[in-house]
């Protein structure tokens, strides 16, 4: 039995997210599994490194699947690219150790979020960024980023209800880079809760606009209450850039 690791890029704009949902063909996982099952001649399930929500994009989603097919991987990749929708691309296939698991072996992830920061929206960036017209104090946003890095309980920055699972995560780095009217947020950490990146981004934007002070981060950590944090920015500006594994 072969274990195949996949690196996948997709535009999530017209999908309900990564995870297969019943008989719906509106998921990334479902689309890929359908083609792989036809290719291998037997039902094939792929395991993703994690879920992405409806409308979220990926530059480097990782998944793996097991198969008894002896097909050459270059040929398999060519067939997948040819038969999948153009907004889903299998960038690489690689045979890995039988015990490799794309979700359980992941050590961290990098996400990015793009904001179009101008009074006038952009016709070209609208599908891949969030239009936020308010003037932003980048310095205050940077101060808040320093408070967010490190190991904390991020329940107040998530869409989770009460859960028995740990909501403690470590953010190694948050960067903010402005290029013209586009602001790029990058988040690197060992894991992220449901909608955590989108809520943190919304909170940082409200701090930049002056609705919240940088010290609000401390208050949210202390209270653990979602409503104390900022808005949940929409999914079209969010990208899963990379998943990290031990070499």
**Residue among 11, 23, 25, 53 flagged as catalytic:** 53
Residue 75 DSSP class: H
In this structure, how many other beta carbons lie within 10 angstroms of the beta carbon of residue 35? 20
Per the annotation, the verdict on 241 as an active-site residue is no
Q: Please provide the distance, in angstroms rounded to a whole number, between the alpha carbons at the two ends of the chain.
A: 23
Determine the Cα angle at 147 with ends 145 and 148, to 5°.
Answer: 65
Helical (H) or strand (E) element with 58: strand 57-67
Task: Tell me how far CA of residue 52 lies from CA of 77, 130, 211, 236, in angstroms.
Answer: 22, 17, 29, 11
Helical (H) or strand (E) element with 32: helix 28-40
Residues designated as active site: 53
């Amino acid at each position: 039995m072969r274990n195949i690791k996949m690196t996948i890029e997709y535009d999530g704009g017209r999908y309900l997210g990564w995870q297969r949902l019943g008989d719906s063909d509106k998921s990334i996982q479902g689309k890929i599994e359908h083609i792989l099952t036809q290719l291998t001649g037997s039902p094939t399930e792929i395991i993703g490194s994690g879920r992405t929500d409806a409308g979220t994009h990926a530059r480097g989603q990782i998944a793996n699947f097991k198969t008894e097919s002896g097909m050459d991987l270059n040929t398999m990749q060519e067939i997948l690219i040819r038969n999948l929708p153009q907004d889903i691309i299998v960038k690489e296939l690689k045979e890995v150790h039988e015990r490799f698991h794309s979700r359980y072996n992941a050590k961290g992830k990098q996400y990015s979020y793009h904001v179009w920061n101008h009074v006038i929206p952009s016709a070209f960036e609208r599908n891949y960024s969030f239009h936020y017209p308010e003037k932003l104090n980048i310095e205050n946003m940077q101060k808040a980023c320093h408070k967010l890095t490190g190991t904390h309980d991020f329940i107040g920055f998530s869409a989770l209800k009460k859960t028995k699972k740990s909501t403690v995560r470590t953010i190694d780095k948050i960067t903010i880079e402005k290029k013209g009217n586009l602001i790029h947020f990058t988040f690197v950490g060992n894991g992220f809760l449901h909608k955590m990146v989108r809520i943190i981004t919304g909170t940082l934007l409200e701090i930049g606009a002056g609705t919240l002070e940088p010290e609000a981060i401390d208050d949210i950590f202390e209270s653990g209450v979602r409503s104390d944090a900022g808005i949940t920015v929409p999914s079209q500006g969010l990208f899963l850039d990379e998943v990290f594994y031990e070499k």
